Structures are given as structure tokens and as C-alpha cells.
Amino acid sequence: MQTKGRKSTSRKMIEKTIPLVLNPGIEKKKYLNIAQVKIVAFANQLLPFTNQASSLTKFHHLVYSKHKYLGIQSQVQEAVQRRVYAAKKARLFRNFPLEFNFPRSGNLKFTAQGHPILSLSPLKKRVAFPVKMNGGWFRLQDCVRGGWEAHSCIVFKKNRQWVAHLVIRRPLPPVQEVEGTIGVDIGIKVAAAYTLNHPCFPLVEQYLGKDLAWKQHQFLKRRVMLQKHASHGSVSARRALRRLKYKEKNYVQTRCAQIAHEIVDLAVLTRSAIVVEDVTHLRKKWTRQATKGKHGAKKTRRQLNKWPYRVLLYKLIHLAQLQCIPIIPVSPHFTSQICSRCGKRSKLSRNTRDLYRCHFCGFEVHADRNASRNISLLGKYQQGLKLFSSWLSYLPVPRERLTSCYPVSVAEVPSTTSHSTMNGSVPVD
């Protein structure tokens, strides 16, 4: 599985990472340790220069020629410069990953006996490191058979073992045509509430990840208790704090992956697009300077900082790209205030956090369910699909509201007779 050079192509690529465990001998371990010591020293030497350059290009011209005497491979040196400039606020580096780009400073090959090796050159000399044939290696073989190619890798030391995170990629497959939409309302209390809006499938509405916020609160309470003991000099409390950090991170990553898999599996089964709200700049409105003097701002900032919105969104995007499912971002404005039954908007309709009671028609529904219905309809409008709703037979969002957000022609919805209930039902012709 020898990696070929990069091909100049304008096609978009999709990437994923596979962890591999290296099995170097005594001399090769010494070589890696020496290389890491040199790179850590090089990174610490670059820190004072980060404030003297206004861009990464100027930073490269400032420091590249001055540190060639260290004997670090040029591509590895550029990767270190890029990481140091991105972490310019750091005071001191104690560990630093070794980054290699294929085929310039590394490659993945086979020996004559058929064993895999990772050929790397952190310094001027290129050395071959054996790879353990564990589960990660067999997963990599399956991916290579599916058309994936090795692109780069990051090598670092973990639990007294040298681990290589191999980045593989392939061209992004074309997105398949869709017939329906799945509106996903990503929230703090309920991680993801989704609604399937499809003309050929019954209404499906689920609340996923209710335990995520509760579990994060449990981690927070235990962290507060351990911090009190650690402030009094408890060594075991400090160790427990370090373990707790990785436990919470692993739990959030795993739970978000489970939620994303369930949504994408439903989208593949029903040939539906996934519609999400674009709230990437929400935290900028709740900075310490913007919320100075506001009541409850500290608690809100803490909730937003613990909210794993981006983790769940990235996993949704990655899994959807693998399955050729489109992801549609829509505007989050008024999705929780518009009634999914009559289409009118009012702030008075949102009485509590969980309950939505329309101020005009009296329709009662869970607030997250109402928002996910509106999101699915906005996705249908943006995709140019027929504006069909699985819970009603007429357009539940006002035409002028949609036209102001998305200037696309609205398809006419046929008038049919339906039985609309408080919990939403499938229309009957």
C-alpha cells in the first residue's frame, strides 16, 4: 500500500483518522526521543517570535532560515511553525507531536515479508518503524480497499507507546437526490430533537441525548469537590481531576457519535436531507464584555461553553458525507417562536422552556418538537422540494417569512383534508 504523490485536482476530499500503534526497537525509540526533544526545544525557541509577525507567512519568513542548523526536516519544521503560531498564547511546550506529510516526509510501505512499516523522517535521516497489526491496522486495510489513500500522520507518545494517527482521504462522493428532510433542533437540555418530514413515510419525532446535559452536570459537581481537596494539597485529588477530564471528553464524544449515527441511519433509510440550525456565532454574543452587568450571564456562559454543539455537528457532517447525504444549514431566527400549525409568530407563545402554546390558535406541543418541524420545512424550502408537512396538509410557515429568508420560488401546496391533532399526525387524503 505505497502512497502515491498528491494529484492536482479540484474535487473536494473527505478525511478520517485511524490510530496505529508503532512497535520500534530500542535504537529507533532513542531516535524518536531525540527527535521529540529537538522539536520541543525548537518550538520553545519560536514562541518569542510569534508576537513579531502579523501573519503566518511573515512568521515563516522571520524564523525559517534562522533555525535550519537544528537539522529538522523542512516539512516537519514548517508544521511546527504552523502549530506554534496557532498556539501563540502558550508559555512553554513540554510535549509536541511530530507531524509528517506523505510522501514528502513520510510514507506507508510493506516489507518483503508483507509486514506494514511507517517510513518517517523527523530529522534528515528517514527511518522505518514497524506497525502493530491490531484492530486499527485491519480497519486501515478495509478503508484502502474502499479507495482511501494515506495523506499524512501525527506521531506522539501515549502511555509509554508511540502512536501514529494516520489521516486517510478520498474524493467526496456526489450527493444523492433526496425526497424528504429531517429537521434537527440541537439544544442544551435535549441534545437533538428531530422530525422526519417525508411524503412517503409516517411522521417520526424523537428526543435524543437527554442524559448528556445531566451527565455533564454530574461531572461538574465532582470537579468542584475535587478542586476543593486539591487546593488543600491532596495529590490523589489532582490525579482524579486529570482522569475526570478525559472521562468527560470521551463520554461527550461517544454520546454525540451515537446520536449522529441514529440520525444519519434514518436519513439513509428514507433518502432525506438533514437540516440543522447555523448557530456557529452564538457564543460571540455572550462574551464577558458583551454581557457585563446582565443578570444570569455567568450561568448562561457556562452552559454555552459546555454545550457540545460543534462536536455533534461535525460528526453529523462527517457521517452524512460518507453516506452521500446533504447537510442543509438554515437560519435559526424565530424557529422556536413560529407555530408549526398556523405559521404565526409571537414571543408570548413560548411560555416555558419545554412547552409551546400558540398565542393565536392555542396549539400545544413540546418546544423542541415545534422547532424541529419548522427547521425541516425551512430545509424543504431551501432545497426546492414540495412543501409537504407530515403533521398538517397546508404550509405551516407564512409565505412572506420564507421569502424574506430564502429568495427561492415557493411551490404550491395542494389542498387536502387532514386530521391535525395536538401531537401531530399523518395527513389523510
Tell whether the model's pLDDT for residue 57 goes beyond 70.
yes
Region 318-333: what's the mean pLDDT? 90
**Domain membership flag for residue 150:** yes
Of the CA atoms within 13 Å of residue 194, those in its CB half-sphere come to 28
Tell whether the model's pLDDT for residue 129 goes beyond 70.
yes
- 290 and 312 assigned to the same domain: yes
Instruction: Give the rounded percent of residues in the chain with a pLDDT score beyond 90.
Output: 34
Q: For residue 109, what pLDDT band results from cuts at 50, 70 and 90?
A: confident
Q: For residue 421, what pLDDT band results from cuts at 50, 70 and 90?
A: very low
Domain boundary among 143, 171, 199: 171
- 278 and 257 assigned to the same domain: yes
> How far is residue 302's CA from residue 297's CA, in Å, rounded to a whole number?
9
- 53 and 156 assigned to the same domain: yes
**Domain membership flag for residue 390:** yes
pLDDT at 6: 46
The torsion angles phi and psi of 186, rounded to 5 degrees, stand at -90, 120
Q: For residue 35, what pLDDT band results from cuts at 50, 70 and 90?
A: very high
- 401 and 287 assigned to the same domain: yes
pLDDT at 166: 94
Residue with C-alpha cell 500522520? 153
pLDDT at 413: 32
- The pLDDT tens digits of the residues spanning 87-103 come to 888 888 988 999 999 98
- 186 and 167 assigned to the same domain: no
> How far is residue 260's CA from residue 390's CA, in Å, rounded to a whole number?
23
pLDDT at 398: 45
- 234 and 378 assigned to the same domain: yes
**Domain membership flag for residue 327:** yes
pLDDT at 301: 77
The DSSP letter of residue 395 is -
The DSSP line for 141-197 is HHHHHTT-EEEEEEEEEETTEEEEEEEEEEEPPPPPP-SEEEEEE--SSSSEEEEEE
**Domain membership flag for residue 137:** yes
Rounded to the nearest 10°, the torsion over CA 146, 147, 152, 154 is 0
- 244 and 371 assigned to the same domain: yes
pLDDT at 404: 41
User: In this predicted model, which residue has the larger pLDDT, 421 or 180?
Assistant: 180
- 164 and 192 assigned to the same domain: no
> How far is residue 183's CA from residue 193's CA, in Å, rounded to a whole number?
8
Instruction: Give the rounded percent of residues in the chain with a pLDDT score beyond 70.
Output: 84
- 148 and 191 assigned to the same domain: no
- 315 and 342 assigned to the same domain: yes
Domain boundary among 109, 144, 171: 171
- 92 and 189 assigned to the same domain: no
- 205 and 339 assigned to the same domain: yes
Tell whether the model's pLDDT for residue 381 goes beyond 90.
no
**Domain membership flag for residue 429:** no
Region 244-269: what's the mean pLDDT? 92
Overall domain count for the chain: 2
The torsion angles phi and psi of 155, rounded to 5 degrees, stand at -110, 130
The dihedral region occupied by 53, where left means phi > 0, alpha psi between -120 and 50, and beta the remainder, is beta
The DSSP line for 311-367 is HHHHHHHHHHHHTT--EEEE--TTTTTB-TTT--B-GGG--SSSEEE-TTT--EEEH
**Domain membership flag for residue 412:** no
Q: Which H or E element spans position 246?
A: helix 235-270
> How far is residue 137's CA from residue 115's CA, in Å, rounded to a whole number?
11
> How far is residue 25's CA from residue 90's CA, in Å, rounded to a whole number?
33
Cα-trace Rg, the chain: 26
Check: pTM over 0.85? Answer yes or no.
Answer: no
The set of residues, in sequence order, having a beta carbon less than 8 Å from that of 148 and lying 6+ positions away, is: 16, 168, 169, 170
The set of residues, in sequence order, having a beta carbon less than 8 Å from that of 236 and lying 6+ positions away, is: none
Region 126-145: what's the mean pLDDT? 90
Tell whether the model's pLDDT for residue 407 goes beyond 60.
no
Helix (H, G, I), strand (E, B) or coil at 43: helix
Query: Which residues form the domain of 42?
Result: 13-171
> How far is residue 13's CA from residue 403's CA, in Å, rounded to a whole number?
34
Tell whether the model's pLDDT for residue 3 goes beyond 50.
no
The set of residues, in sequence order, having a beta carbon less than 8 Å from that of 398 and lying 6+ positions away, is: 343, 344, 345
Give the β-pairing of 180-185 and 192-197: antiparallel
**Domain membership flag for residue 139:** yes
By CB neighbour count within 10 A (0-12 exposed, 13-18 middle, 19+ buried), where does 73 fall?
buried
Average pLDDT over all residues of the chain: 82
Region 35-47: what's the mean pLDDT? 91
Q: Which H or E element spans position 296?
A: none
**Domain membership flag for residue 325:** yes
Domain boundary among 119, 144, 171: 171
Tell whether the model's pLDDT for residue 226 goes beyond 90.
yes
Q: For residue 32, what pLDDT band results from cuts at 50, 70 and 90?
A: very high
